[in-house]
Structure 1
Amino acid sequence: MALLEDKKMSKEIFTLALPAIFEMLLHTLVWTFDTGMVGRLTPEAISSVTLGAQIMFTVSNVFGALGVGTTAMISRNIGAMNTERAEKVAVQALSLGIIISMIVGSVGIIFSKNIFYRLVDDIEVVKLGTEYLRIVFIGAFFLIPTMIGNSILRGAGNTYIPMISAATANIFNIVGDYVLIFGKFGFPRMETKGAAIATGFGQVVGAIITFYYLFRKNPYIQVRIKNLFKFNGETLNSLVNLSFPAILEVFMNEGSRLVSSFWIAQLGTIAYASHSITVAAESISFMPGYGFAIAATTLVGQNLGSKNVDRAEKSVKASTYYAILLMGIVGMLFFIVPYPIMRLFSSDKDTVLLASKCLRIGAFEQIPTAIGMTLSGALKGAGDTKGPFRISLITNFLVRLPLIFLIVYAFKLPLIYIWIATNIQYLVEAILMYIRYKKGSWKEILIN
């Protein structure tokens, strides 16, 4: 019986994790294609698109973190067989997401020029970046609700529709980039404007797929259009209280990475380029951790909802094991063959050589990262969003930023020490997540 139960749980975990991993892979690939196609334009075009995309997606990710509380509440109610309550939570979350997206999109469109003026001095970059940002912020009207809609589906146990939504959106984005940037098939050559239109159109397509599934009758969860914007104070309060620490966590992590990149740029052009392409390779390695964290979030919430704490713990243990296994394999590849991997990202020998040294160091962060990401997902699924936020606060402000500042400005050490510092950060994070998880207070959290 135990073996049968283990097989059943493994199947549930992979059913949830694999589509989520593939979804993240698609997002990474579309970013790579975007960068490659825009990279054929002028340096000003590259700078404007890169910076504009970073601004828009950072803002969207911050507010999209409302989906963390949404997933926790919905998975708990689905586990308790309270579908009606889960649907009420879903409609509240989606309504709030639509309102936030309208505000964020409008503010972004209005203040795009001011944002670029404050960030860069190059007039051409300001001009191109303003045009790009205004268009992609129209896409934010759709992106934030889509992110929350996908969180609703994941909480209900459906990771396939978010994957299909992302796949279709990204295909339209890539094709649109090629056609509109370079003026193919009779379309005018629009360059950066074309890149923005393709990105925005892809987001609209993704939204249509997610909303179509949410609004129609399906085996998982349904949002009824007639109930949109009919807010319930108690439900809304619970949703915001659960999500707000996650929103702060994303904001802090994004801000920390941004500040770090400014500091690392002081090490020189080759060092910064090497760091950038190593981060690109590293981001791919995080996908298994992300996928199994999603599985842990959903299964912990559902099992706690059904009062099966033992099964919730087993799901976390199994998810963590699989994340360690897959990311450990990636870590071995990073350590054994870093140079060929980095050659995929650059043809400059000096950049690749330095990046391969960084990647070999990054190999040691894989297992701690797997543990930290999966346990963070488990805690959030139980409704403990404050714990991961506090741990991120500690690891960013007491570990990552101070170490990088000292390396760059005080000791003036080479780039490889930056990667040693990030290894320390991920190790500390894994230890603190494990301590938080083992305390077991997450088992007692009540969610309405």
Structure 2
Amino acid sequence: MQTTAKRNEIKLLRKEILRLAWPTILEMLSGTVIWVVDTAMVGHLSAEALSAVGLGSHLAYSSAFIFGALGVGTTAMVSRFIGSKEIEKANFITGQSFIISALLGFAVFLINFTFAQNLILLFTRDIKVVELGTVYLKIASAGAAFYIAAMVLNSALRGAGNTIIPMYSVAIANIVNIAGDYLLIFGNFGFPRWEVKGAAVATAVAQVLCFLITAFYLFYGKGNLKMKLKYIKKLDIEIIKKLVILSIPASLEEISFNVSRLISTQWLNRLGTLSYAAHQVSVSAESISFMPGYAFSVAASTVVGQSLGAKDEKRAEKGSIEATKLAAILMSMVGIAFFLIPDKIINFFTDIPQVESLSTVCIKIAAFEQTTIAISMTLSGALKGAGNTQGPFSVVLISTWLIRLPLIFLVIFVFKKGLEYVWISTVVQYFFEALLMYALFKKGEWKKIKL
């Protein structure tokens, strides 16, 4: 009887995890589609336009992702209070998170708008790219401000166990973005042909819409989580401090990722244009596999937070393990595809023979890191859901700065090896990252964190 009861418990837990995860996978898929379509449309203008949009969007949305990490603390606190049935406290956290996100969004807009040209000049001296990039960044930064608020509010909803509304808000915004691109980049159906400016306007409008959909639901929807005016009229310093302390490691993790990527990009350029192009194609192809990893990370975060709020540590641990298993199974299946049909996957991204040949080797190597990425991502989400944001940050810091970057440096500058050895370095990185994340999880200290 006990065995049957346990099986039923696990079955219900898996069902809950899948309910939380699948909308997040679709949300990420829609984001990937918009990225591909956006790039394709701008790519029909000119190389300068493509570079300008790439630089402008990177500057606008890197800062948005850094400050949007406030959502990590929001998810942890909202899920904890939902689990303990303290709904008004969860509502209060949502209101306070919105105030901070609005202030941060305005700061991002102000800085990017005021110093747009100077920021673009840090990356290029091409006059045309600087001109177009400045226009794009000024407009896109307005959308990025709303995007920060949308990310934080969607994080609150996920903490409450609602991943459907975030999926809808992002998907609808992406559809509007594609339509806006088609109309405003090329001037179709009588609309003005704004080209790069049109791409920026379409993106900004889409991000504003994403925020409005989520905010409208929180004010007027039928869910258990509400955003009430009385909770956004004034700041509670103690709550703000708690949210910021929880979120700072996640922000630093995002900064660390961007800085390390910048360094590795400079090193990879030493391998030549073809190798760098092959690396970019391989990264784009591998990003497909991250969707289930991120989705189950979100699910684990919510299940852990709510379970700890309900004083059910066993469910929190079981939920983390089950989410990790499901993520590992799905990402391993993608890994098998990477190994067996790498050429078919790479063909979707490029038809340049030399680039295709090298990318095929890289994506085949990437097959061996899919399971460890799944373990690392999902357990990181579980730990963050418990309020342990410092631990995952420390693990990623070690795996990136003490393993990945030194290995890449040795490969390129000491052993003078090619791109395929760089990708072997990342396999090693993720193996140790998964090992460290699992060790941190098994210590169990996250179960005792008070929020």
1:160-179 correspondence runs (5 A): 160-179=164-183
Deviation sequence 1:228-275 (CA, Å, 0-9, x none): 141112111111111111111111112212221222122111111111
Q: Does 2:80 match 1:62?
A: no
Q: Does 2:446 match 1:423?
A: no
* Higher mean C-alpha displacement, 228-237 vs 197-206: 228-237
Distance 2:387 2:262 in 1: 28
Distance 1:209 1:260 in 2: 38
Give the SS at the match of 2:283.
helix
Q: Does 2:265 match 1:286?
A: no
Give the SS at the match of 2:190.
coil
Contact 1:181 1:193 in 2 (8 A): yes
Question: How far apart are 1:68 and its partner, in Å?
Answer: 0.2
Distance 1:425 1:37 in 2: 36
Give the SS at the match of 2:104.
helix
Give the SS at the match of 1:22.
helix
Distance 2:110 2:218 in 1: 25
RMSD after superposition: 0.9
Deviation sequence 1:203-230 (CA, Å, 0-9, x none): 0111110110111252220011233141
Match of 2:28 in 1: 24
| Unaligned residue ranges in structure 2 (runs of 5+) | none
Question: How far apart are 1:293 and its partner, in Å?
Answer: 0.4
Contact 2:324 2:375 in 1 (8 A): yes
Distance 1:275 1:336 in 2: 19
Match of 2:127 in 1: 123
Distance 1:408 1:134 in 2: 37
1:380-419 correspondence runs (5 A): 380-419=384-423
1:33-72 correspondence runs (5 A): 33-72=37-76
Q: Does 2:201 match 1:197?
A: yes
Distance 1:275 1:332 in 2: 20
Deviation sequence 1:258-312 (CA, Å, 0-9, x none): 2212221221111111110110011111110100000000000000000001111
Question: How far apart are 1:399 and its partner, in Å?
Answer: 1.0
Distance 2:239 2:258 in 1: 28
Q: 1:217 to 1:210 in 2, by over 3 A?
A: closer
Distance 1:371 1:20 in 2: 18
Q: Which amino acid aligns with 2:9?
A: E
Match of 2:115 among 100, 111, 114: 111
Q: Which amino acid aligns with 1:341?
A: I
Q: Which amino acid aligns with 1:52?
A: G
The alignment covers a number of residue pairs equal to 447
TM value normalised by structure 2: 0.98
Distance 1:341 1:374 in 2: 25
Match of 1:249 in 2: 253
Match of 2:322 in 1: 318
Give the SS at the match of 1:185.
helix
Match of 1:77 in 2: 81
Match of 1:14 among 4, 18, 26: 18
Distance 2:365 2:224 in 1: 43
TM value normalised by structure 1: 0.98
Q: Does 2:189 match 1:182?
A: no
Distance 2:357 2:292 in 1: 26
Distance 1:238 1:223 in 2: 19
Match of 1:145 in 2: 149
Contact 1:153 1:220 in 2 (8 A): no
Distance 2:278 2:176 in 1: 31
Contact 1:289 1:373 in 2 (8 A): yes
Deviation sequence 1:401-448 (CA, Å, 0-9, x none): 11112222222211001100111111111000000000010011111x
Contact 1:157 1:220 in 2 (8 A): no
Instruction: Kindly report structure 1 stretches of 4+ aligned residues shifted beyond 6 Å.
Output: none
Q: Which amino acid aligns with 1:154?
A: R
Question: How far apart are 1:116 and its partner, in Å?
Answer: 1.0
Question: How far apart are 1:179 and its partner, in Å?
Answer: 1.1
Distance 1:362 1:342 in 2: 13
Match of 1:308 in 2: 312
Give the SS at the match of 1:286.
helix
Distance 1:40 1:261 in 2: 25
Deviation sequence 1:129-152 (CA, Å, 0-9, x none): 000000000112211000000000
Contact 2:64 2:145 in 1 (8 A): no
Match of 1:133 in 2: 137
Distance 1:49 1:430 in 2: 35
Match of 2:356 among 348, 352, 358: 352
Q: Which amino acid aligns with 1:228?
A: I
Give the SS at the match of 2:436.
helix
